[in-house]
Chain A
Amino acid sequence: MDQIGFLAPRPAVLARRREIVADLLDLMPPGCLVHEERELVPFETDAFVSYRRLPLAVALPETTAEVAAVLKYCHRYGVPVVPRGAGTSLAGGAIPQEDAVVLGLSKMSRILEVDYANRTATVQAGVTNLSISDAVSADGYFYAPDPSSQLACTIGGNIGMNSGGAHCLKYGVTTNNLLGVKLVLIDGTVVELGGKALDAGGLDLLGLVCGGEGQLGVVTEATVRLIARPEGARPVLFGFDSSEDAGACVADVIGAGIIPVAIEFMDKPAIEICEAFAQAGYPMDVEALLIVEVEGSDAEMDAMLGKIIEIAGRHGVRVVKESQSATEAALIWKGRKSAFGATGRIADYICMDGTVPLGQLSHVLRGTAEIVAKYGLRVANVFHAGDGNMHPLILFNANDPEDAARAEAAGNDILKLCVDAGGCLTGEHGVGVEKRDLMRHQYAEVDLAQQMAVRAAFDPQWLLNPSKVFPLEGRPAA
């Protein structure tokens, strides 16, 4: 695919490549700088694998001081920097460019402190999302935001994209669970924002950094909120004869003031894909499936489920299946969380991330089907229905350039549909490079100009992740 452009590499940087590598080798411990061309290739992309750019070098620092040293150097010599966590971005947030140094945080993967008195964990940015919960689960705690890639994605990347997940309906997304960060600015200055308390004085810079897509600074440590695990949790499967019925049911549940922990949606193609991988026992004879998870005491769960079943009945629910054991519940979630990867069994895909008002779910699902049909493609829908965060997976053949171009065009149309329905381009994956050129569809010039002014205040030379988020034209000059 080549419809999305990247900034042209800075000739001055390319000309100094050898020198830059030699200097970075001096700054980094042995084995922490990748610079041989062969070894750079695996870093040319992330999970938005349609686009690829070879970086100039990859630095894998082990300490905040090393991160600061790399940034200070790159700032001084005008070298772009692309931060990278686990490289699981579906929006191309970690795709590098020819004149950029990738700053990978994968070696900084320690949990630094667990403080139950304050219900916080302080971790290095390269810690995976799931390993935070793993570290505290024996004591009855967990970290709530749970992107489907939580097994692999890092907390640094989660902060960059303000990631969500299935359980964010009740507990909020990353920004609602982040209390503080250690941030290295482009000139190498190390600052700390927030702390262990729920609110810090002054401007909410932490709120700004969360979702900054690696353009405001590089997070090296984070303090996150831990939550006590509920007494029990129960995912329940609701099968419907149409996506519209399922969509309308979600809107009515939320409209009735009922907030379960999660309401996840899968259409028939998605059910088939996930069942093939996880054998979770999803009903196979329905057109759409909702996974609704309730939690609390048995009485609480029964009461909430009773209300939801009643509403679902009004929308013609055909199958209601409660998980009977912890193993079954785990399989239900394993299938759901592996949905994207499991799609690889049948086709290549690009994953959209538009968010729409709940009342528009059915309308947007119908529109998505029409758009995809118009391009002669297939789609599998699997998403966080409770907060209207849609993930149509557009299936295509990556070895057929025309098919790939059609998939990309269909994706753009779907995202425009989401925006036109009163939603937005991204719920949790970030704008990255994927949705960058659609930003003008969502924002007026004046909105964009203000956002870019804020961004430039942190990094006037536009060195941090420069090809992402904001359209390449109309940027303020450095």
Chain B
Amino acid sequence: MQTNFTPEQLADPHVATSEKILRKCVHCGFCTATCPTYVTLGNELDSPRGRIYLIKDMLENGRPADEQVVTHIDRCLSCLACMTTCPSGVDYMHLVDHARAHIEETYRRPFWNRMTRNLLAAVLPYPRRFRLALRAASLGRPFAGLLRRVKPLEPFAAMLDLAPSRLPAPSPAARPGTHPAAGPRRARVAILTGCAQPVLKPEINEATIRLLTRLGVEVVAPAGEVCCGSLVHHMGREGEALEAARKNVDVWLREIEAGGLDAIIVTASGCGTTIKDYGFMLRLDPAYAEKAARVSALAKDVTEFLSTLDLPQQAARGMTVAYHSACSMQHGQKITMAPKILLKKAGFTVRDPAEGHLCCGSAGTYNIMQPEISRKLKARKVKNIAATKPDVIATGNIGCITQIATGTDIPILHTVELLDWAYGGRKPDMLS
């Protein structure tokens, strides 16, 4: 597609990158068909092609963001289904990242919107604050109905809806330390402890550590790790995101130097997509570019890593699993087959729900900030999953787990919890 930037504009490396991305788009429109918001709303402005055009127009004219552009960019889930579909190889992810940072710099959001975003950014990435907030939420739940009736306060109602009624106790797996391999050590990995996940579902990392150590892998949870930065990154708060990335790069590099790392294991695919992008995010920082690229290359989703360990085929269990591929897994990291192959090898019958490419509506804080679209996508997702008549749903991202669990009674687990069970670990509580 033709672009119209001055040499001065292109001197900004962010603009230069976006210009290259825009030049690849031929405006064929294929992306519209697999975009969850276009499919739901039927307006090209809420499709990748429409957003690409809005961003192009804004950047070419060097304009601050305005209400219209912000509305349509905010509605983007960042599910990246468009990138799987795009035959031209348009790097929509980095284009929309740039647009979000531009919005954050140039646009003043309405008061309640600003407050909600500030609150999420100040609470979610910090486990202790998040735990407190969830406790408070159980007290606030009676007010959800009231909040829902006031449009700008709707996100608070959505938060209350999503907060679990019971909170698990803090897990030892969430504390820094080394978990030695059982038997001879075949590999040494770091595990991303995470921020929201260990508060909501500590079982996931517990299962991962149990399974990996049993398989002869030493697992380190390094001290000093922070949230991967994905949450603020998707809000366009680039400074904070890069700060988080730098801290984690330092932590993992220390670990590489101390004892060597074969992989950095990530059990939330949303985080995995971002950590794998650290190399790009920090490309303009001479002190960190190379280190970040090293970290990104080591980052592996837990199923990606398990696939390299050649696990034995287990006897059939007579249990049907609907595998829900998180967008960050299938579109962000392009991991499509590995989790299903692992589940089949572990003895489960695996079903693919229809419209598997469509987002469940979780998308980080999307279900809080855009509750209406999120609800529609959740209903559609749950219907497609239920049609496969599964005994259990497996997925690889905490966001999807929380979202889908509020729409169905079918138990939903992280893939690794089922794998741990199949290979000698404990049966997940949810199935007991």
B26–A107 CB distance below 8 A? no
- Among B81-89, B238-246, B316-324, which stretch is in contact with chain A? B81-89
Number of A-B residue pairs having CB atoms within 8 Å of each other in the complex: 117
Interface flag for A426 (CB, 8 Å) = no
- The CB with the most chain B CB atoms within 10 A, among A109, A151, A153, is that of A151
B50-93 near A? 1/0 per residue, CB < 8 Å: 10011001000000001011001000000000000111111000
Complex contacts, A174 vs chain B, CB 8 Å: none
Interface flag for B29 (CB, 8 Å) = yes
Whole-angstrom distance from the CB of A400 to the nearest CB of chain B? 9
Q: In the complex, A60 Cα to B2 Cα: how many Å?
A: 27
Which residues of B from 97 to 148 have beta carbons under 8 Å from A?
Answer: none
Complex contacts, B44 vs chain A, CB 8 Å: 42-43, 87, 104, 106
Complex: chain B residue closest to A344, CB-CB: B88
Question: Given that A38-B66, A349-B26 are contacting pairs, would A151 and B33 also be in contact in the complex, using a CB cutoff of 8 Å?
Answer: yes
- The CB with the most chain B CB atoms within 10 A, among A108, A342, A344, is that of A344
A341–B88 CB distance below 8 A? yes
Interface flag for A46 (CB, 8 Å) = yes
Interface flag for B3 (CB, 8 Å) = yes
B29–A86 CB distance below 8 A? yes
Interface flag for A243 (CB, 8 Å) = no
Interface flag for A374 (CB, 8 Å) = no
Complex contacts, B54 vs chain A, CB 8 Å: 38-39, 41-42
A399–B26 CB distance below 8 A? no
Complex contacts, B263 vs chain A, CB 8 Å: none
Interface flag for B32 (CB, 8 Å) = yes
Complex contacts, B31 vs chain A, CB 8 Å: 152
B2–A398 CB distance below 8 A? yes
Query: Contacts A49-B26, A341-B30 given; 16 further ones with Cβ under 8 A?
Result: A31-B43, A34-B45, A39-B72, A41-B57, A88-B29, A106-B44, A107-B43, A126-B42, A341-B87, A343-B88, A344-B24, A345-B24, A348-B2, A399-B2, A399-B3, A404-B2
Size range of the interface on B?
35 or more
Which residues of A from 272 to 309 have beta carbons under 8 Å from B?
Answer: 277
Complex: chain A residue closest to B58, CB-CB: A38
Q: In the complex, A293 Cα to B90 Cα: how many Å?
A: 31
Complex contacts, A277 vs chain B, CB 8 Å: 87, 89
Complex contacts, A36 vs chain B, CB 8 Å: 68
Interface flag for B287 (CB, 8 Å) = no
The 7 closest A-B pairs by CB, nearest first: A344-B88, A341-B87, A107-B42, A338-B87, A344-B26, A42-B53, A398-B2
Whole-angstrom distance from the CB of A209 to the nearest CB of chain B? 23
A80-115 near B? 1/0 per residue, CB < 8 Å: 000000111000000000000000101111000000
Whole-angstrom distance from the CB of B334 to the nearest CB of chain A? 13
Complex contacts, B72 vs chain A, CB 8 Å: 39
Query: Can you list 14 A-B contacts (CB < 8 A)?
Result: A39-B45, A39-B54, A39-B68, A47-B29, A49-B1, A49-B2, A49-B26, A109-B42, A151-B30, A152-B33, A341-B87, A345-B87, A398-B2, A399-B23
B69–A341 CB distance below 8 A? no
Interface flag for B430 (CB, 8 Å) = no
Complex contacts, A86 vs chain B, CB 8 Å: 29, 32-33
Q: In the complex, A41 Cα to B54 Cα: how many Å?
A: 7
B85–A151 CB distance below 8 A? yes
Interface flag for A149 (CB, 8 Å) = yes
A46–B27 CB distance below 8 A? yes
Complex: chain A residue closest to B63, CB-CB: A38
Q: List residues of chain A with CB under 8 Å of any chain B CB.
A: 31, 34, 36, 38-39, 41-43, 45-47, 49-50, 60, 86-88, 104, 106-109, 126, 128, 130, 149, 151-153, 277, 338-345, 348-349, 398-399, 404
Q: List residues of chain B with CB under 8 Å of any chain A CB.
A: 1-3, 23-34, 38, 41-45, 49-50, 53-54, 57, 66, 68-69, 72, 85-90
Q: In the complex, A349 Cα to B43 Cα: how many Å?
A: 26
Complex contacts, B42 vs chain A, CB 8 Å: 60, 106-109, 126
Question: Given that A128-B33, A345-B89, A348-B2 are contacting pairs, would A45 and B27 also be in contact in the complex, using a CB cutoff of 8 Å?
Answer: yes
Q: In the complex, A121 Cα to B96 Cα: how many Å?
A: 38
Whole-angstrom distance from the CB of B33 to the nearest CB of chain A? 4
Complex: chain B residue closest to A340, CB-CB: B28
Complex contacts, B90 vs chain A, CB 8 Å: 344
Q: In the complex, A149 Cα to B31 Cα: how many Å?
A: 11
B50–A42 CB distance below 8 A? yes
- The CB with the most chain B CB atoms within 10 A, among A31, A42, A153, is that of A42
A152–B32 CB distance below 8 A? yes
Complex: chain A residue closest to B42, CB-CB: A107
B1–A47 CB distance below 8 A? no
Partner of B53, one of A41, A149, A343, A344: A41
Q: In the complex, A397 Cα to B34 Cα: how many Å?
A: 28
Complex: chain B residue closest to A273, CB-CB: B87
Complex contacts, B86 vs chain A, CB 8 Å: 341
Complex contacts, A341 vs chain B, CB 8 Å: 26, 28, 30, 86-88
Complex: chain A residue closest to B50, CB-CB: A42
Whole-angstrom distance from the CB of B411 to the nearest CB of chain A? 27
Q: In the complex, A34 Cα to B24 Cα: how many Å?
A: 27
Q: In the complex, A31 Cα to B68 Cα: how many Å?
A: 12
Whole-angstrom distance from the CB of A135 to the nearest CB of chain B? 11
Complex contacts, B30 vs chain A, CB 8 Å: 88, 149, 151-152, 338, 341
B28–A60 CB distance below 8 A? no
A343–B45 CB distance below 8 A? no
Complex contacts, A345 vs chain B, CB 8 Å: 24, 87-89
